[in-house]
Structure 1
Amino acid sequence: MFFTLSTSPGIEMEERKWEDLEFYCLVNVLGRVGMKSLLLDVPFVCKSWYKASLDPSCWKYLVFPKDLDSELDFTLIDRFKEKYKIENCSVDAFTKFAVGRSHGNCTGLYLPNGCTEEVAKYVADECPALITLSLPYDSIRCESSIVPSLIGKWEHLENLWLGSSENLVNIITQISLACNKFSGLRISSAIIQEEEASAIVTNLPNIKFLLLRGARIYFENLVIILQGCKNLVHLDVRDCLGFDSDDEAVLELASNIKTFNCEGSTLHDYDDGVIDHDDLVYDGYISN
């Protein structure tokens, strides 16, 4: 493979091989191609690319597909098994393998659906530098979830995206104790009652980004957040159930927030079932 260099217009271009590119430059480029290419394409180009793909810097930001295990689709795991001639590979094993490639340097991690608490434990031990973490519904859906007890290991955490609001009070209590730079919380398919709203205000008074799109949150609980979180610069409560998007009291309380989105929110669920909460989980899981 070749790339061309030219110092100025009109000067004949010089052809050079990609494998001759300085190693640190190659690592910098490959760190941007994504997990799928790092696993299925890059290592098979040439020896220098394979060597560069093993550098932990290429694995600092890991976005797993939402579904790694599906009977309907040919998933990334299926392609991985086919490429490497592997007979069996679970979601947990694949996730640990990819996370392990970072050798503790991972700063952004978006875990897939289907991984167990064992993966959460592994991430807590192997990724102390995490700044952004997205946990799927599976990891936090039961009251006995270990996630709250793991938060203390991510002292650099600034952004957390959750697949549900279960264990929310315990999770944000631990965040307040361990994560001094925390600024952003996103929850998919949330149910925000008075306890959750009060916990957000009490434990995260300086939070800047709060995304609750598609949540069930009554007017009075939204007011608790609007009155208590004075440093919010972005609040997303679109498509929520429990208050009207044109409520004057809500709009007045949110007038000091730089970006306030509440379109589609309604007091009553006139069209029950219209909101696809599974889609909202994925939207909250990947989108910025």
Structure 2
Amino acid sequence: MEERKWEDLEFYCLVNVLGRVGMESLLLDVPFVCKSWYKASLDPSCWKHLVFPKDLDLEWDSTLLDRFKDKYKIENCSVDAFTKFVVGRSHGKCTGLFLPNGCTEEVAKYVADECPALITLSLPYDIIRSESSIVPSLIGKCEHLENLWLGSSINLENIITQISLACNKFSGLSISSATIHEEEASAIVNLPNIKCLILRRARIDFGNLVIILQGCKNLVHLDARDCIGFDSDDEEVLELASHIKTFKCDGSMLYDYEDDCAIDPDDLLYDGYISY
């Protein structure tokens, strides 16, 4: 029986396979296998789902950016330049994008203009914390957006306002290092189709949690574990959440007795994405 070779695989099948191998392999391995693999790796369909490593600029460890520069003999390449290069490979077809730490608003502007098909988007704290944040206007251009992961609750009201105006199919919100006051809780309630809400390790008091539980009628998944501001065994909370298929509040307490501030908010962001 004649041995079949990978390079003889139909082009669309090869693209389908390579679209699943991940960003690191697409950049550092696949293009160097053979000409057919190199050609297939340039197809925008291979770059529809882009989950960047959390950190691309570390002094004490080798990152994907370091290996990329070494592989392609590039002396200087910033986080912004690398991120825009990878996102550009999708030629507007990117539907899932998790941006790395260290990005500036320049990347956010680029994504807003170049990724009209986004369904899932993750924005790190570095972008959201900017005083002149472009995030609300970015969201306003993402009419197909269904899921959003935020590295902070900064500017949450304005972001949710844009979601309500532009994203008719929006259903999932995850916020790391969140502080939920009445204004933020009321804004969340204004998302009529929200089904998944991840507020793990948020600071949210009993009253504001009640606003969400009473107002978000379509929730099927609410992760409020390890929060500060209410007790996990509060009978009223459990009763109000009884309509939610998956409600998690383990570890939540009224007061922060240990005041543990050693939690990396971006770990929560990625954890929420992976576990749901």
The TM-score bracket by the shorter chain reads over 0.9
* Number of equivalent positions: 275
Cα separation, 2, equivalents of 1:165 and 1:23: 44
Residue 31 (structure 2) pairs with residue 31 (structure 1): no
Counterpart contact for 1:99–1:106, Cα < 8 Å? yes
Contact 1:136 1:285 in 2 (8 A): no
1:208 and 2:182 correspond: no
Shift of 1:277: 3.8
Corresponding residue to 1:60 among 45, 48, 55:
48
Alignment deviations for residues 9-47 of structure 1 (CA, whole Å, 9 cap, x no partner): xxxx54111000000000000000000000000000000
1:282 deviates by 3.9
Query: Is residue 153–residue 178 contact of structure 2 (8 Å, CA) maintained in 1?
Result: yes
For residue 268 of structure 1, the aligned residue among 244, 255, 261 is 255
One-letter amino acid matched to 1:227: Q
How far is the alpha carbon of 1:280 from its aligned partner? Answer: 2.2
Q: Deviations over 1:122-155 (max 9, x none)?
A: 0010000000000000111134211112211100
- What is aligned with 1:118? 106
1:99 aligns with 2:99: no
Aligned residue in 2 for 1:230:
217
Decide whether the 8 Å contact of 2:109 with 2:138 is kept in 1.
Answer: yes
Matched, 1:255 2:242: yes
Q: CA deviation at 1:283?
A: 2.2
Query: Aligned pair 1:150/2:161, yes or no?
Result: no
Q: Is the 1:163–1:281 Cα contact (8 Å) retained in structure 2?
A: yes
Q: Give the counterpart of 2:128 among 140, 154, 173.
A: 140
2:66 alignment partner AA: D
- Kept after mapping to 1: 8 A contact 2:169/2:193: no
Does the aligned pair in 1 maintain the 2:79–2:102 contact within 8 Å? Answer: yes
* Runs of 4+ residues deviating >4 angstroms: none
CA–CA separation in structure 1 for the residues paired with 2:187 and 2:36:
51
Unaligned runs of 5+ in 1: 1-12
Give the alignment partner of residue 185 of structure 2, picking from 183, 192, 197.
197
Which residue does the alignment assign to 1:4?
none
User: Which amino acid in 1 is paired with 2:46?
Assistant: C
Cα offset, 1:281, TM superposition: 3.8
Distance 1:275 1:268 in 2: 17
Identity %: 85
* Structure 2 residue corresponding to 1:177, chosen from 165, 170, 184: 165
Cα deviation 1:144-186 (Å, max 9, x = unaligned): 2111122111000000000000010000000000000000000
